[in-house]
Amino acid sequence: MTTVIPSRAPAPLLAALSDGVEIFDLGRQYAVGMPQSPNHPAYWHALPRRHGDMVRTDGGSAANDMISLGTHVGTHIDALAHVSHDGKLYGDLPVEEALIAGRYDKLGVHTIAPMVCRGVLLDVPAALDTPQGCEAGYEITRADLETTVQKQGTRPVAGDVVLIRSGWGQLFDEGAPYVGGESGVPGVGEEGARWIAEHQVRAAGADTIAFERLAPGAGHAVLPAHRVLLVENGIYIIEAMDLEELAAAGHHEFLFVLSPLALYGATGSPVRPLAVVTRG
**Residue 113 lies in domain:** 10-28+72-278
Give this prediction's pTM: 0.92
Amino acid at position 78, single letter = D
pLDDT at 9: 45
Q: Is residue 192 domain-resident?
A: yes
pLDDT at 62: 96
pLDDT at 8: 47
- Short-list 160, 261, 145, CA closest to 202: 160
How many whole angstroms separate alpha carbon 158 and alpha carbon 24? 23
How many whole angstroms separate alpha carbon 147 and alpha carbon 127? 7
Which residues are CB-neighbours of 122 under 8 A, at least 6 positions away?
145, 148, 149, 152, 154, 156, 162, 163, 164, 165, 252
pLDDT at 3: 58
Q: Is residue 117 domain-resident?
A: yes
On whether the CB atoms of residues 94 and 128 are closer than 8 A, the answer is no
**Per-10-residue mean pLDDT for the chain, 280 residues long?**
51 57 96 94 96 95 96 98 98 97 97 97 97 96 98 97 98 95 95 98 97 87 94 98 98 97 98 91
pLDDT at 99: 95
pLDDT at 187: 97
Q: Is residue 60 domain-resident?
A: no
Q: At CA 154, angle to CA 152 and CA 160, rounded to 5?
A: 145
CATH number where 82 lies: 3.50.30.50
| Per-residue buried b or exposed e for 7-21, using 16+ beta carbons within 10 Å of the residue's own CB | beeeeeeeeebeeeb
User: How many domains, in total, are found in the chain?
Assistant: 1
How many whole angstroms separate alpha carbon 14 and alpha carbon 18? 7
pLDDT at 57: 95
Q: Is residue 34 domain-resident?
A: no
Q: Is residue 97 domain-resident?
A: yes
Amino acid at position 92, single letter = D
Q: Is residue 42 domain-resident?
A: no
Burial of 245 per CB tally in 10 Å (0-12, 13-18, 19+): middle
